[in-house]
Structure 1
């Protein structure tokens, strides 16, 4: 998996139209989808996580490829409602009543977060409604950062240990029926073995849920978490190993006759994008080299949240590299895009930040300090 969707010549050509700029390759996104789809068992459904990159051209391409969609807001539902009817999931920890009513009207599969979702759906529904119940697992991958997820306290779902009490309460529902399990317990995981260990735990939960409901589950939604490399030398996720492992888990679970659902977002969209920006200033300050750019957290927020820079390349430049702190133009010390290795640079030098097709422009603090928004362009 390449860290950059475009070579230097393409980046230089795009940059002549003006920077900062996000450039995306639809062909790269399609290749990611096809590779993952081919590796997975037939009973696995791919639901693209719209939050990773909700651009209409990307959504249209994935819809044409047969993707389902994982939405987390009414706005995201509106983006895909006409693209993939019958292939939409609706998640999120704070759904409002009007949003649940919209979801019912669109016929999407609601991922119920707890009793509040179930009770309001019961009042709103005009007929039988099948939902998936989100459960926050007590085992599986432990995340390094509490903002990502893992098995600690969470605003999402029903804690695994509280599931029996919730099911006892839900037994009184007449229109809403729990027919699936939804779990999300990993983020940007590139180790197929670790992902499969979590999926094994989830299937164990699913079996207990099915036994408690005394009815077959239609779906087990394993969530996302499929990772991509952000640094040279990092190995990509082995999707073939992931697919084989999921096939084996299904063979070992004859009690489950429904479908698996995966919600890749970053894995599908990340490799398709690069962010192009020019250097405005280079400063040495008490032993630290600051490379100050046209755009910062107003265009790319992820490095500030995770502490990990996007892969960065000096376009058309060569020579020995040394550490550099990437800083944006905003009048705040929070405007940092991470630590990278770069050659000597002068104002006007062009940098390409790879893997920027996911959690880029639409995650950023674009209105903050009223700097211009970046441009976007799409290549076939």
Structure 2
């Protein structure tokens, strides 16, 4: 077993036999260890808000809730999943660029801190609220955050947040609202970043932005939300995030920004959920086509669409197989040439072989094209 796979080959075989394939399996032990490792290096003023979009599985949410996590939600469905945990008010955040009035009403009823994307969020909340309501304002900076990252985007146009240069005009209008008060800043800082030095630079730039807004407009921030972005390896040659350095960097940044006395929020999703999951699927048939060897599997982008979206293939192994590794193009069962899970080197496969895809605890089944062609939805198994 390596860090890329939550279960060894024998356990993968047992899970496949017990639950059938394809299926997802999640390790409670790996999820718990990852959360505790992150919590151990963070300053006390840093709060972990698990990003539910990474994996909303009920057992995973209960696991993190029991460890003291807060939660970052981006839909009314995610709010309802977190509401079922019975947490006290103040442990949930609500983000997203298109919040409807019904969703905002739900957030208010749960005591959720809203990450306002623009004046529309502020005005709708103000109309719904009956008492003073603190919100965080999401700002789209005028500088590149995670340069070259296609998920985050650069400093150009964005559907997310308030452009930094538009903040003064928004604050002028917001001052006239009856109930809503801006008490925090939200900047989604990075995506799948494993370099602690780059994260320090990104987070430092966000704190510098907060200081400028504080000094120019007198904003007294209770919270600064740095968003997500803590990355995980997807290949054996990729180094994991140096957690000790990451934690020390946050301590140093807080010391440098002594003006800020509130709490920092982190929204890790993939970092906490990714390593705990394995996807199991069998080879249905092999095909040679003009020099390419295809292995056609029971599941493809209907279960694991992330390789298509980002170009990041999940690590794969042939369970219980040995021998010289040869190239295979992994294809799924869908009637589209887009259904590819990557090109890998594995021992020569045959029909019926079991493959395991590691680091699939995040952006797996909940992101897949599950309704396309009406294939059965695979089970998700929680393993304590």
Query: Which bracket does the TM-score occupy, shorter chain normalised?
Result: over 0.9
Find the aligned partners of 1:135 and 1:121 in 2 and give their Cα distance.
Answer: 18
In structure 2, what is the equivalent of residue 50 of structure 1? 52
Deviations 1:282-332 (A, max 9, x none): 112112221110001111111110112100001111112122211001111
Inter-partner Cα distance in structure 1 for 2:161 and 2:137: 8
The answer to whether residue 250 in structure 2 is matched with residue 266 in structure 1 is: no
Question: Over aligned residues, Cα RMSD in angstroms?
Answer: 1.3
Instruction: Provide the residue aligned with 2:325 in structure 1.
Output: 321
Contact kept, 8 Å, 1:140 with 1:185, in 2: the verdict is: no
**Aligned twin of 1:13:** 14
Paired residue for 2:179? 175
- The equivalences for 1:63-212 within 5 A come to 63-83=65-85, 84-85=87-88, 86-212=90-216
2:146·2:191 contact (CA, 8 Å) conserved in 1? no
The CA distance in 1 between the partners of 2:368 and 2:327, in whole Å, is 25
Deviates more, 1:77-86 or 1:208-217: 208-217
TM-score relative to the length of structure 2: 0.96
**Structure-1 separation of matches of 2:131 and 2:55:** 34
Distance in 1 between residues matched to 2:148 and 2:378, nearest whole Å: 31
CA distance in 2 between partners of 1:150 and 1:5 (Å): 34
Q: Determine if contact 1:309/1:340 at 8 Å carries over to the other structure.
A: no
Q: 1:176 to 1:266 in 2, by over 3 A?
A: same
Shift of 1:145: 4.9
Aligned pair in 2 of structure 1 residues 296, 261: CA closer, same or farther (>3 Å)?
same
SS at match of 2:313: coil
Q: Are the aligned partners of 1:293 and 1:328 in contact in 2 as well (CA < 8 Å)?
A: yes
Q: Taking structure 1 as the reference length, what is the TM-score of the superposition?
A: 0.97
Distance 1:160 1:88, change over 3 A: same
CA distance in 1, matches of 2:102, 2:217: 28
Cα deviation digits, residues 142-186 of structure 1 (max 9, x gap): 354534434332111011222222222222223111000001031
Q: Is the 8 A contact 1:150 1:186 kept in 2?
A: no
- Matched-pair contact (CA < 8 Å) for 1:11–1:352: yes
Query: Is 1:279 aligned to residue 283 of structure 2?
Result: yes
How many residues in Structure 1 have an aligned counterpart in Structure 2? 380
- Where in structure 1 do 4 or more consecutive aligned residues deviate above 6 Å? none
Please give the per-residue CA displacement for 1:201-222, whole angstroms capped at 9, x wherever unaligned: 1001111222244242100000
In the TM superposition, residue 13 of structure 1 has moved relative to its aligned partner by: 0.8
